[in-house]
Structure 1
Amino acid sequence: MYPTDLTETQWQFIEKVLLPQERKRKHSLQQIWNALFYLVKTGCQWRMLPKEYPKWELVYYYYRKWSGMEEFDLLLGGLRDSVRLKLGQHTRPSLGIMDSQSVRWGNNRSLNGIDGK
């Protein structure tokens, strides 16, 4: 077990939102999610996944499949809502903040010639 592996509570939330009951599999979908979290957290290459996880090709297949699903957005929205509720806030924000930064484009000395002109 790696520190990046999902807890049972986390897995139940994901399973409820994304994964309806399907056929019996050789590798559990929880193992595949754990492999994806390992990849994201460690930044390792696909082909360098530890042997405890399914083969990288299978993990990559599910990554491509899940990342294009509309339900993935529902999962992220549900996670956001649960965090906001734990913080005692409404599930939908009532206010938004936009931040911007102005950059001055003056006379850049590095673009000048040797004589400074």
Structure 2
Amino acid sequence: IIDAQSVKNSETAEEKGYDAGKNVSGIKRHIAVDTQGLPHAIHLTKANISDREGALEAFKSASSFLSNVVNVLADGGYTCKNVSSKVKEILGSDV
């Protein structure tokens, strides 16, 4: 299961972006968990990075730990043939 959360960070932070969809200036956490809620891939980005891009980076950085994943569950923010094919390429899994 993959999802992202946009959160505010301090005004003096060097790295931050603006998530117009959630009206948040800050960072975004991209987290993949198993069916028990245990995290297996975490990637932090500026808030202006799309959920799709962040998820792919999270999967790339943790691919060695995700070799047994068969299916990835995601909400509508991740629906795109390009994302599906990239996840298949990185993990060998279906979205």
Q: Same-fold call, TM > 0.5?
A: no
With CA pairs under 8 Å and 6+ residues apart, which has the higher RCO, 1 or 2? 2
> Which structure has more helix as a fraction of its residues?
1
The TM-score normalised by the length of structure 2 is 0.28
Higher strand share: 2
